[in-house]
């Protein structure tokens, strides 16, 4: 039996308000805010959502030294960098001071709303340490 409003996503979403740099083939690069993120995609806040099917290249720049702990359902406290890095299988976070992490993802706009757009990631990404 199907219930109304039942969560259909397979991946756990994290409400981590971070900035992302988005590149599109038909528009200038945009600096936007992520509302939530999972290993399968992210919801991006914008009043100028791109049409469904638009290809996206997204860059996340994380600075481990500026991380603040976040509560996850009151059970554990993780830092945003730890959460983001845990979403990607090849990522191995370390706690070196001054560590900066740049994650470059490719994806596609899956849904649009008047306040943002859902971007689904493909499984190709690069992680750089800076």
In a domain, 3, yes or no: no
Q: What per-residue confidence (pLDDT) applies to 123?
A: 79
Q: What is the CATH number of the domain that holds 29?
A: 2.40.10.220
What gap in Å lies between CA 119 and CA 81, rounded to an integer? 20
Question: What's the domain count of the chain?
Answer: 1
Residues of the chain with pLDDT under 50: 1-6, 71-76, 95, 97
Q: Is residue 34 part of a domain?
A: yes
What tens digit of pLDDT does each residue of 97-128 get? 456 778 899 999 999 999 999 999 987 788 77
DSSP 37-70: EETTEEEEE-SSPPPTT-EEEEEEEEEGGG---E
- 8 assigned to some structural domain: no
What is the 8-class DSSP label of residue 84?
H
Residue 124 is part of which domain span?
18-129
**N- to C-terminal Cα separation, the chain:** 49
């Amino acid at each position: 039996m199907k219930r109304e409003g039942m969560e259909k996503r397979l991946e756990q979403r994290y409400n981590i308000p971070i900035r992302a740099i988005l590149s599109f083939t038909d528009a200038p690069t945009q600096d936007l805010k992520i509302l939530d993120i999972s290993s399968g995609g992210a919801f991006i806040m914008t009043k100028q959502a791109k049409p469904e099917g638009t290809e996206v290249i997204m860059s996340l720049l994380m600075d481990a030294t500026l991380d603040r702990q976040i509560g996850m359902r009151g059970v554990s406290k993780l830092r945003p960098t730890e959460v983001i890095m845990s979403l990607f299988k090849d990522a191995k976070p370390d706690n070196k001071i001054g560590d900066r992490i740049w994650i470059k993802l490719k994806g596609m706009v899956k849904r649009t709303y008047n306040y943002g757009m859902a971007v689904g990631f493909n499984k190709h990404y690069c992680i750089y340490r800076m």
